[in-house]
């Protein structure tokens, strides 16, 4: 993937997260790609229930399978780690 395609994927991930969690007061550009999604000071203010929702949304929207809890925990660390996972999964198809 080119750098532009990766940037586009990261923007799409942010849009999917915001839409699935009904967050309309934050814009995709406000979310830092490398910031931990579940840190206390994250702009999104996510919790464990949001994590479950995000896993289901990512699997459905991007047509991937996140096999176990440990993998899910790693994938949901940041926008960057979600994008890395999706790129890797697309390469395995």
Domain map of the chain by residue range? Answer: 3-91
pLDDT of residue 31 exceeding 70, the answer is yes
What confidence score (pLDDT) does residue 67 get? 87
Give the chain's mean pLDDT.
94
Rounded mean pLDDT, 28-46: 93
Whole-number Å distance between alpha carbons of 15 and 77: 17
Rounded mean pLDDT, 20-34: 95
pLDDT of residue 29 exceeding 90, the answer is yes
pLDDT of residue 80 exceeding 80, the answer is yes
Whole-number Å distance between alpha carbons of 55 and 51: 6
Under 8 Å between Cβ of 43 and 31? yes
Encode 46-63: b = buried (16+ Cβ within 10 Å), e = exposed: beeebbeebbebbeebbe
pLDDT tier, 93 (very low <50, low <70, confident <90, very high otherwise): low
CATH of domain 3-91: 1.10.1200.10
């Amino acid at each position: 993937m080119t750098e532009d395609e990766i940037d586009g994927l990261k923007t799409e991930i942010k849009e999917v997260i915001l839409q699935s969690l009904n967050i309309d007061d934050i814009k995709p550009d406000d979310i830092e790609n490398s910031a931990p999604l579940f840190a206390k000071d994250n702009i999104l203010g996510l919790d464990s229930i949001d994590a479950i929702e995000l896993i289901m949304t990512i699997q459905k929207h991007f047509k991937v399978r996140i096999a176990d809890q440990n993998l899910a925990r790693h994938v949901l660390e940041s926008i960057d780690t979600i994008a890395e996972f999706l790129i890797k999964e697309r390469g395995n198809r």
